[in-house]
Amino acid sequence: MKRILFILLACVPIMAAAQLVQPVKWTGEEIGDSVRLKAVIDPGFHMSIIEFGDFEYDDEYVDSFVVTLAKAELVPIRFNACDDKMCTAPEVWSYSEAVLQQRGPTESVTNGPTGAAGLLWIFLLGLAGGLLAIFTPCVWPIIPMTVSFFLKKGGGLKDAILYGLSIVILYVGLGLLVTVIFGASALNELSTNAIVNIVFFLILVIFALSFFGLFEITLPDSWSTALDSKARSTGGFLSILLMAFTLVIVSFSCTGPIIGTLLVEAAGKSLLAPAIGMLGFAVALALPFSLFAMFPQWLKQAPKSGDWMTSFKVVLAFLELALSLKFLSVADLAYGWGILPRWLFIAIWIACFAGIGIYLLWNIKNVSTTRKIIRALVIIPSLAFAGYLVPGLWGAPVKAISAFAPPMEIEGREVFNDYDEGLAYARQSGKPIIIDFTGYGCVNCRKMEAFVLANDSVKARLQNYVFIELFVDDKRDGVGDRNSQIQREQFGANAQPFYVQLDAYGHQIAEPMVFTTDPMEFINWLKY
């Protein structure tokens, strides 16, 4: 048994080395309408061509490989390499990879910022959500009660800080749990799958109605009661952790909508995004407990619970209702139902933000001067934003909500949504082609439409092209799958937005263009 185990362990590094070794380096050089492909093979290795379109190679031991082909004849090459000791696993290389290697790997940006910038954005969103949650009727009244309990208990500052850390641990754990349960691929589905988007739309609407006061969503009282009694009878860090868990349960009706929205926004960004979002939320939520424990005299100056909290919940309800439309819109567009056109989407947003302003204006004369000022700081931006959105009813870009609203129709251009139809028209007209790989759930795609494609100078230049717009998440009859396959197989990428320039016969004439908000950068990229 030990011998077998030793042999298996010895094979591991050998197998790993076989996977890591890359003795064949490919290059592609454009020469007019042709491409010169070259394989540089490390000394001591030979290459075997396994598959190369309709071309046949009888020699299984290729020491050098150079071939010049028309761009129309380019096909992926399947090969492997061997020396006297081992062979590498079969690999597939295509000429498109030469272009992509020059630019670096193309990252999917379907859902907005990714990488470090994306995680920072998610953290800041979580921080903002946590700050909002503090002022809800479910959290604010608990702060003085909890801090006073710690001070009377004798723990004071130490216990309150541990309490804050416990809140962070619980919410970060929730974010990690979401990732473990669903996985990275399923998390991405949360932002692109139509059915899932409908579910989240309904959840946010229900929470919004709860915030409006139509009903209250709470977890069973027995849960919080049992946790609270257990926390009081238990000592040490465990008791503090249980008290923090009690806060999570008690505040669910107010924090649930914020947490749900945050997790959906984090979905598909990266594997760590839900945990990072929850970290931001928890840090903001735990902050007042620790600060008031450090400076207990601040409790006397803090505003007391009252009607202002009801007003705060109603404002949040309007915001939740507006944000819920994003999820309904994705489902509507993906299946082509046509129930939420762009003008209606914008009209509801206008109603929501106008509703915030009108609601806060109601009975404003009956509140104190301080609250009048605070209300005015919300009323004026809300009504101004509602007015800003009005031109969007007639097709204006309204860049501020470009990431949320359905795709805008850009006048003055003919758009094909089928690759073959667009290619056939290009051959007939002799015009070059621009392919726009986009998605209904793609945030950056909407930004490019508003900031770049709607620009008058860009629109004028696009008149020289046949414009093909391919949605990779269109759920009708497998359209999205076919469009995604075209992007992967022909251009070696899986990113949206992703723009490709072709000549009238489908040959690539420039490196791809990815996300930008600078119209001049896009214009300089155009060949015609």
> Is the pLDDT confidence value at 97 over 60?
no
Q: What is the pLDDT of residue 418?
A: 93
User: What is the rounded average pLDDT of the residues 156-165?
Assistant: 75
Give the contacts of 90 (CB within 8 A, at least 6 positions apart): 50, 78, 79, 80
Q: What is the pLDDT of residue 109?
A: 41
Same domain, 192 and 248: yes
d(CA 462, CA 75): 30
- HEC profile of 206-274: HHHHHHCCCCCCCCCHHHHHHHHHHHHHCCHHHHHHHHHHHHHHHCHHHHHHHHHHHHHHHCCCCCCHH
User: 491 lies in a domain?
Assistant: yes
CA angle at 67 for the pair 64 and 69, rounded to the nearest 5°: 165
> Is the pLDDT confidence value at 11 over 50?
no
Number of structural domains the chain divides into? 4
Same domain, 364 and 401: yes
Q: Which of 303-317, 331-345, 492-506 has the lowest mean pLDDT?
A: 303-317
Per-residue confidence band for 393, with pLDDT thresholds at 50, 70 and 90: very high
User: 14 lies in a domain?
Assistant: no
Domain end among 337, 372, 396:
337
Q: What is the pLDDT of residue 383?
A: 95
Same domain, 197 and 162: yes
Q: How large is the C-alpha radius of gyration of the chain?
A: 29
Looking at residue 263, its amino acid is: L
Give the rounded distance of the alpha carbon of 207 from its chain centre.
22
Q: What is the pLDDT of residue 10?
A: 39
Same domain, 301 and 377: no
Domain end among 406, 434, 458:
406
Q: Yes or no: say if 260 and 200 are a contact pair by the CB < 8 Å rule.
A: yes
User: What is the rounded average pLDDT of the residues 377-402?
Assistant: 90
d(CA 402, CA 365): 36
Q: What is the pLDDT of residue 5?
A: 37
User: 143 lies in a domain?
Assistant: yes
Per-residue confidence band for 501, with pLDDT thresholds at 50, 70 and 90: very high
Same domain, 141 and 69: no
Same domain, 389 and 437: no
Question: What is the domain range of residue 359?
Answer: 341-406
> Is the pLDDT confidence value at 358 over 90?
yes
Helix (H) or strand (E) holding 36: strand 34-41
Q: Yes or no: say if 473 and 482 are a contact pair by the CB < 8 Å rule.
A: no
Q: What is the pLDDT of residue 168?
A: 84
> Is the pLDDT confidence value at 479 over 80?
yes
Q: Yes or no: say if 317 and 208 are a contact pair by the CB < 8 Å rule.
A: yes
Q: What is the pLDDT of residue 523?
A: 93
Same domain, 182 and 65: no
Same domain, 376 and 453: no
| CATH of residue 518 | 3.40.30.10
d(CA 110, CA 108): 6
Per-residue confidence band for 218, with pLDDT thresholds at 50, 70 and 90: low
User: What is the rounded average pLDDT of the residues 249-264?
Assistant: 69
Same domain, 332 and 359: no
Crossing angle, helix 157-192 and helix 194-211, to 10 degrees? 140
User: What is the rounded average pLDDT of the residues 59-75?
Assistant: 65
Q: What is the pLDDT of residue 225?
A: 57
Same domain, 210 and 307: yes
| CATH of residue 95 | 2.60.40.1250
Same domain, 157 and 259: yes
In degrees and rounded to multiples of 5, residue 415 shows phi and psi of -120, 135
CA angle at 259 for the pair 254 and 265, rounded to the nearest 5°: 140
> Is the pLDDT confidence value at 107 over 50?
no
* 42 or 221, higher pLDDT: 42
d(CA 273, CA 118): 8
> Is the pLDDT confidence value at 459 over 50?
yes
User: 321 lies in a domain?
Assistant: yes
Q: Hey, which of 86-90, 101-105, 141-145, 459-463 has the most confident mean pLDDT?
A: 459-463
User: 193 lies in a domain?
Assistant: yes
Q: What is the pLDDT of residue 333?
A: 86
Q: What is the pLDDT of residue 342?
A: 92
User: 32 lies in a domain?
Assistant: yes
Same domain, 274 and 242: yes
> Is the pLDDT confidence value at 354 over 50?
yes
> Is the pLDDT confidence value at 228 over 70?
no
**For all residues of the chain together, what is the average pLDDT?**
76
Q: Which of 35-44, 176-185, 323-332 has the lowest mean pLDDT?
A: 176-185
pTM here is: 0.62
d(CA 48, CA 38): 14
User: 3 lies in a domain?
Assistant: no
The structure tokens listed for 376 are: 């005015």
CA angle at 185 for the pair 184 and 189, rounded to the nearest 5°: 115
How much of the chain exceeds pLDDT 90, in percent? 18
Domain end among 304, 337, 370:
337
Q: Yes or no: say if 258 and 277 are a contact pair by the CB < 8 Å rule.
A: no
In the block, which residue shows the tokens 């946590």? 130
The structure tokens listed for 418 are: 């089928």
User: 297 lies in a domain?
Assistant: yes
CA nearest to 471, candidates 430, 438, 433: 438
